[in-house]
Amino acid sequence: MAQLYARDVPGLPFPEDTDLQQVLWCPFIDIEDQSGSEAVRLRWRRSVDVADVLAAAPEPAYVGMEELVPVPCVLHPEQVREYPAAHDLDPALAARINTWDEDRDTGYRGALSVAPGWKAGGWAAPFTFRDSGGPDELRCARCSAVGEPLLTFV
């Protein structure tokens, strides 16, 4: 589970009248291998409506692999500037960056594009649903808008 407050993640778009995002997932490999979407649920809430705060996280009823059970922790978010992955750029600009990369020890992808680690918002990593705008590009079922990254866990 992850819980984010709007005050801590200023660039993340929250639905109107919400300031708390809760991400719940069932981290079992057999469920994730099916399609992944059944294993993740988002809850957008108003923090003032959370009345009963649990002193300790509930224990799961079944544990398939111990290393998949979340460990309570606190993160200290920081804003990092990142630039789009090459597949999100105009092809001519991507070619120029590729040429620039060849002349440097530090590459565009590793140093400037798609920050590594866990993040809220930002640009889509090259290995995700936005890869080259292909037929598997994720779109909203209601409005057909292209999906944008909300959370990335690496």
What is the percentage of the chain residues whose pLDDT exceeds 90? Answer: 14
d(CA 31, CA 10): 32
d(CA 139, CA 98): 29
Summarised one tens digit per residue, pLDDT across range 30-69 is: 554 555 455 678 899 999 998 887 887 777 777 777 777 7
Better-scored residue on pLDDT, 134 or 18? 18
pLDDT band at 20 (very low <50, low <70, confident <90, very high): very high
The shares of helix, strand and coil residues in the chain, as percent rounded to the nearest 5, are 25, 15, 60
By three-state DSSP, how is residue 135 classified? coil
Give residue 132's pLDDT: 47
Confirm if 26 and 62 have CB atoms less than 8 A apart: no
Confirm if 6 and 14 have CB atoms less than 8 A apart: yes
Give residue 38's pLDDT: 57
d(CA 136, CA 121): 20
Q: Choose the most confident range, by mean pLDDT, from 17-21, 25-29, 56-60, 130-134.
A: 17-21
Buried b (16+ CB within 10 A) or exposed e, 13-49: eeeeeebbbebebebeeeebeeeeeebeeeeebeeee
Give residue 15's pLDDT: 92
Summarised one tens digit per residue, pLDDT across range 88-110 is: 789 999 899 888 888 887 788 77
First vs last C-alpha separation in the chain: 15
Q: What is the mean pLDDT of residues 118-143?
A: 66
Q: Write the CB contacts of 30 (distance below 8 Å, at least 6 apart in sequence).
A: 64
